[in-house]
């Protein structure tokens, strides 16, 4: 069919149905895909007029969800026709549509994540999620249940995106581990486990692997400093930030 015969609006307006509250307050260290870091949790808050119990009725019977979202933080950077995926060591380019990069036209993301609970409190509705790869404040465009009979494709071939990298050995300085224990007692957040799961897959961009050995990440209000050692990665220091 010739494109001029297709009658649809050139611009589509979308209204977020929700917003993500996640442990990832900055991009560095966020897993490259969902389910790589099971301890990575988020609350998906439904926004009015979609924060109605009836709109999630029956969802509690599903263990996983597809979340369609907006890569809001890359909107200003625009889109790119080709990108260098981390799987290829940052050396080779592939087409944006052969990638899961945020730098795409329309900036739409899609993740299958675990649904742990649906919570209704004080007129607000939250979906408690785990295994997420969303930045804090990510706008959510839609939610759908994950249906294994159709969505799980055993025969799928996935080109250069061959899966998780070999895991790296992680050690903690005594003071860093002590901080994590205290933080968990106070907040209930197992930050040490989260750090382990995040850095064991080596989140360093290919461009920083040769000339940089110290890295920083922010999880909730915890500033984490870790470094590269001969045998793996060492978490050197964890401190709490006072205000952002
Ligand atoms: N699973 C999704 C997909 O395939 O569409 C996202 C994959 S994308 C490679 C994951 C990366 O997107 C994360 O590591 C993080 O750096 C980035 N990211 C996550 N949320 C974002 C947001 N709201 N805006 C911009 N970048 C974001």
- 133 shares a domain with 176: no
Residue 23 near residue 134, CB atoms below 8 Å: no
Q: What is the CA radius of gyration of the chain?
A: 20
Residue 189 near residue 183, CB atoms below 8 Å: yes
The CA 42 to ligand 1 mean position distance, Å, reads 14
What's the number of domains the chain is made of?
Answer: 2
CATH number at residue 90: 2.40.30.70
Residue 18 near residue 36, CB atoms below 8 Å: no
Query: Which ligand 1 atom sits nearest the alpha carbon of residue 135?
Result: 20
Query: Which ligand 1 atom sits nearest the alpha carbon of residue 70?
Result: 23
Q: Residues enclosing ligand 1, CB less than 6 A? A: 27, 30-34, 71-74, 100-102, 109-111, 133-135, 138
Query: Which ligand 1 atom sits nearest the alpha carbon of residue 138?
Result: 23
At 175-204, the pLDDT tens digits run 999 999 999 999 999 999 999 999 998 889
Q: Is 123 inside any structural domain?
A: yes
Is the pLDDT at 89 greater than 90, yes or no? Answer: no
Alpha-carbon distance of 234 to 82, in angstroms, equals: 34
Peptide bond connecting 49 to the previous residue in cis, omega within 30 degrees of 0: yes
Residue located nearest, by CA, to atom 24 of ligand 1: 71
Residue 94 lies in domain: 18-151
- Give the other-Cβ count within 10 Å of 64's Cβ: 19
Query: Which ligand 1 atom sits nearest the alpha carbon of residue 32?
Result: 14
**Residue 54: per-residue pLDDT:** 97
**Residue 31: per-residue pLDDT:** 94
- 82 shares a domain with 125: yes
Query: Which ligand 1 atom sits nearest the alpha carbon of residue 27?
Result: 16
Which among 99, 118, 151 is the end of a domain? Answer: 151
**If you average pLDDT over residues 77-95, what whole number do you get?**
91
Residue 29 near residue 198, CB atoms below 8 Å: yes
- 180 shares a domain with 104: no
> Sign of torsion, CA 154 160 161 165?
positive
Burial status of residue 219 (CB atoms within 10 A of its CB: 0-12, 13-18, 19 or more): buried
The CA 79 to ligand 1 mean position distance, Å, reads 14
Q: Is 187 inside any structural domain?
A: yes
The CA 2 to ligand 1 mean position distance, Å, reads 34
The CA 99 to ligand 1 mean position distance, Å, reads 12
At 98-141, the pLDDT tens digits run 999 999 999 999 999 999 999 999 999 999 999 999 999 999 99
Is the pLDDT at 35 greater than 50, yes or no? Answer: yes
The CA 71 to ligand 1 mean position distance, Å, reads 6
- 194 shares a domain with 81: no
Burial status of residue 236 (CB atoms within 10 A of its CB: 0-12, 13-18, 19 or more): middle
Look up the pTM and report it.
0.93
């Amino acid at each position: 069919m010739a494109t001029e015969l297709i009658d649809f609006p050139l611009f589509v307006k979308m209204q977020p149905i929700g917003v993500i509250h996640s442990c990832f307050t900055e991009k560095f260290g966020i897993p490259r895909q969902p389910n790589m870091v099971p301890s990575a949790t988020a609350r998906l808050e439904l926004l009015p007029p979609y924060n109605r119990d009836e709109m999630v009725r029956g969802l509690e019977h599903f263990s996983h969800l597809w979340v369609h979202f907006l890569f809001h933080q890359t909107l200003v950077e625009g889109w790119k026709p080709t990108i260098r995926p981390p799987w290829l060591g940052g050396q080779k380019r592939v087409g944006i549509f052969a990638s899961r990069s945020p730098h795409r036209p329309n900036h739409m993301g899609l993740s299958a994540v675990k649904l742990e609970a649906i919570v209704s409190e004080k007129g607000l509705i939250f979906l408690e999620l785990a295994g997420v790869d969303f930045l804090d404040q990510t706008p959510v465009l839609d939610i759908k249940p994950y249906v294994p009979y159709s969505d799980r494709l055993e025969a799928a071939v996935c080109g250069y995106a061959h899966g998780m990298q070999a895991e790296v050995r992680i050690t903690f300085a005594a003071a860093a581990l002590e901080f994590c224990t205290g933080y968990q007692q106070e907040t209930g957040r197992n930050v040490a486990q989260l750090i382990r799961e995040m850095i064991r897959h080596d989140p360093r961009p290919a461009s920083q692997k040769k000339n940089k050995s110290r890295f920083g990440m922010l999880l909730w209000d915890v500033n984490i400093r870790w470094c590269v050692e001969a045998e793996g990665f060492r978490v050197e220091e964890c401190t709490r930030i006072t205000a952002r």
